[in-house]
A and B are shown apart, each in its own frame.
Chain A
Amino acid sequence: MRCRRDPTSDDAVSGVAPRHVFEPRSHDECAEVFALARSERLALAVVGGGTELGLGPPPSRLDAVVSSRGLDRVLEYAPSDQVIVVEAGITLSSLQAVLAPHGQRLACDPPHPDTATMGGLLAANAFGPLRSRHGSLRDLLIGVSILRADGTTVRGGGKVVKNVAGFDLPKLAVGSLGSLGMIATAAFRLHPAPEAVATLRFRRMTPRDVRLLTTAVRAAQVEPAAFVAIGAGDTFDVLLRFEGFAAGVAEQRNRAATLAAPSGPPAEALSPAEGRAAWREHDAARAHGNACVKVSTLPTSLESLASEVVPRLKAVMADAATVLHPTLGLSFVAGDARDAVDFAAALASARARVGRGPGSLVVHRAPAAMLGAIDVWGPLPGAFSTMKRVKEGFDPDGRMNPGRFVGGL
């Protein structure tokens, strides 16, 4: 097959080396690869930019890697409808570059936009600070086509923003980690690029300050587009970003600046350049070190998260940084895990604390050598038996990214 090449050490997935690498340049070529994989019974891993490839235990089988990066075309773009249809190998930056001249964007801003592909971001349910306002990719994806293990291509959703015909395959695809098939194309709803952007920073807030600010923002009915707290030591720098029309943005920023506790640090209104630099710090904190743990709790558990869960993780992750999304109840702790046994024990202990209420703890990235020792996904979700049947229905031979998803699916 023309698009086959021999693997190099860079093609390993969590330490497991494939025997083949396929780099299809068209959907038809990709379907040929899947047909070959079907007849040869090859276990496949689809790889985009590799930015989210650390998620999940090592594959239980891996015969071939299929790279989606050659499938990066824009298939349809209707600016007046604010909808775009793309092949899933397109990077987020390339996609945004197509939209920017039309004053539009995809309201999704995870780290590594230059390398991350839309397919990879969808498969991993990746997100960035804009999730506070615009939701996650599940809220932006309106249509999808999936190449199933048997080589057939199936479509769900459509290319209009409102559509309830048939089961919602787009939502099933988001976060499915390539276990049901390859996301081949995706249709997204778009948003206008904001006319104005302003960032406020509150330095050195305690977890309590952060929680009180979250409550005060909600009470005051200001609507930040993004709201994160970044911590290196025991305190957090909080960033609030306002987007929209100039008059509204300035008014919201000014009002939000008065919302910090009087005893706490004052708000700093950042210049555009300072603002961009501050948000890059968010991306850097998330990408920091060889390991990253994502914790989901209720937003009101922020203080107990900071006092009971985060310290357990930081104790075994050198030079750790913490990113909180206070309105969402989602947090990341990133740093260098040094010892597999310590790391595994800390994860178990942190997970036990998280498990006292609603929530979960998932290892998003860890050194391949440690993956054998740690529990990446934690306890099985309540509906696991149904999830297993979904997997078996879509991929009866277990050849799509086997072993990497929840419960070894």
Chain B
Amino acid sequence: MTLPDIATRVREIVGPRNCIVDPAELRTYECDALVSFRVLPKLVALPGSTEEVSAVLKVAAEYGLPVVPRGAGTGLSGGALPVEGCIVVATSRMKRILEVDLDNGFMRVEPGVINLDVSRAIDAEGYYYAPDPSSQSVCTIGGNVAENSGGAHCLKYGFTANHVLGLRMVLATGDVLDIGGPARDTPGYDLAGVVVGSEGTLGIVTEVILRLLRKPQATRTFFATFPSTDEAGHAVSSVIASGIVPAAIEMMDRLAIVAAKAATGLDWPDVGAALLVDVDGPLAEVEHTLRAAVDIARAAGAIEIRLPRDEAERALMWKGRKSAFAAVGRISPDYIVQDGVIPRSEIAEVLRELAALGAAAGLRIANVFHAGDGNLHPLILYDARVPGEERRAEALGGEILRVCLRHGGSITGEHGVGKDKAEYMGEMFNEADLDAMSTLRCAFDGAGAMNPGKVFPTPRLCGDRPGVYRPHATELSGQASRG
């Protein structure tokens, strides 16, 4: 089997323009937003329909090639990182909205539809799609499904998994599965719940039925500044303890505020920490919760409370928050975005621990994160030109994950395990847990062809006895290692 043979077959399926083999063009697909890992795929296919995805996967199966699914490539865990000799199947051409049914609260879309375009399509009618990752203006629903993406507002509204009613997917064999549907409680196992967040290791999703929500009657936002993350963390705990379920509580520390100001020109003060809080719901309820939350923030030591004068100012505040990751590029030549979760009552304590770790490593850490659900996003700043600094930054990222685990948390709240964190899975789960997950994977993909080397710390063959290691086919051929 040679590349021309495979390329010819794939071209016949997707058309010549949608089959990429030119090395220069392939470089676009050599990584996702985690740019520290790069692998050139053998071929990229851009199918336009479920049938084409199925046909491409059959060709891959016939030649025994691994398949790496890809959405918009905004993932931060290397979930769409190619493996040596693979076919990348990118769903970017499949971007049709297939059905909108507001009376029944759902929309059926292809995976290449951009997250924000879902809400835009129904905005005028007063509906929206709740999950809102920071990359929502570019990331696609297919990628959101793969990663179980969250966003600032999942504190109240949940993650992608809570908003997917059904899906159509293609297995590595080319078989097409319909899972769930617009009517609730399809008999059988909740396979939609399993596929969402499976990081492309079970198959390729080609249609998604999304749950739509009626917009809340009112949304109120406030921005509060604090002397340090201690007071801000205390304010978060107190707001939650008061019985308020805010739509979002975001925290930024001093470095993140400095970066966001530099990037957006916002006139935020130079303070130790800030919270951006959304409350939403029926107007009377919201006015009460806004007042209560503001009072609690003041009592917790807020220096200043700002209420946006209008929707434009509110949008600007959120723009400052959502652009904070990229803004860190203004204050550091390089940075790593980490993603870990801790119990939300321990924010202040954990941030002090992280600062100490950073100081010990001689690196700065900026924090901008979803405080309401304890989902930290430490940004580790470094300069790749300084010998050894990148390696120290990576080691610090790993230490941060261990801190999260020691506090009873998780190694990822929304970015996924991907390639980046596969090695830490064994610290969060034991062999029996991983075997159960592997069992589940084998029910979908017995050949281990879908996105190999992701999620699991070591390759696992279907039918393996627990605890007995045998090298995986890709490992034997040098395509993967046990690192």
Contact = CB atoms under 8 A, between A and B. Distances in A.
Nearest to A127: B185
A360 B197 CA distance: 26
A406 B243 contact: no
Given A245-B285, A247-B284, A161 B439 contact: no
A165 B410 contact: yes
Interface stretch (A16-24, A79-87, A91-99, A336-344): A79-87
A125 to B, nearest CB: 7
A386 interface: yes
B181 interface: yes
A378 B185 CA distance: 13
A74 to B, nearest CB: 16
Given A81-B345, A406-B188, A164 B414 contact: yes
B288 interface: yes
Nearest to B424: A165
Contacts of B286: 248
A305 B430 CA distance: 48
Among A162, A172, A175, A191, the most chain B Cβ lie within 10 Å of the Cβ of: A162
Contacts of A300: 103-104
B74 interface: no
Interface string A313-350: 00000000000000011100000000000000000000
Interface in A276-305: 294, 296-300
Interface in A163-200: 163-169, 171-172, 174-176, 191-195
A129 interface: no
Contacts of B415: 164
Interface in B398-422: 408-417, 421
A111 B58 CA distance: 48
Nearest to A102: B241
B437 interface: yes
B152 to A, nearest CB: 11
B200 to A, nearest CB: 12
Interface in B143-159: 147-148, 150, 154-155, 158-159
Interface stretch (A63-71, A150-158, A228-236, A259-267): A150-158
Given A166-B425, A300-B103, A378-B187, A386 B177 contact: yes
B240 to A, nearest CB: 7
Interface string A93-128: 000000000010000000000000000000001000
Contacts of A161: 155, 344, 373-374
Interface of B: 101, 103-105, 147-148, 150, 154-155, 158-159, 161-162, 171, 177-179, 181-191, 193-194, 196-198, 214-217, 237, 240-245, 281-289, 292, 341-345, 370, 373-375, 408-417, 421, 425, 428-430, 432-437, 439-444, 455, 466
The 3 closest A-B pairs by CB, nearest first: A248-B285, A171-B193, A251-B284
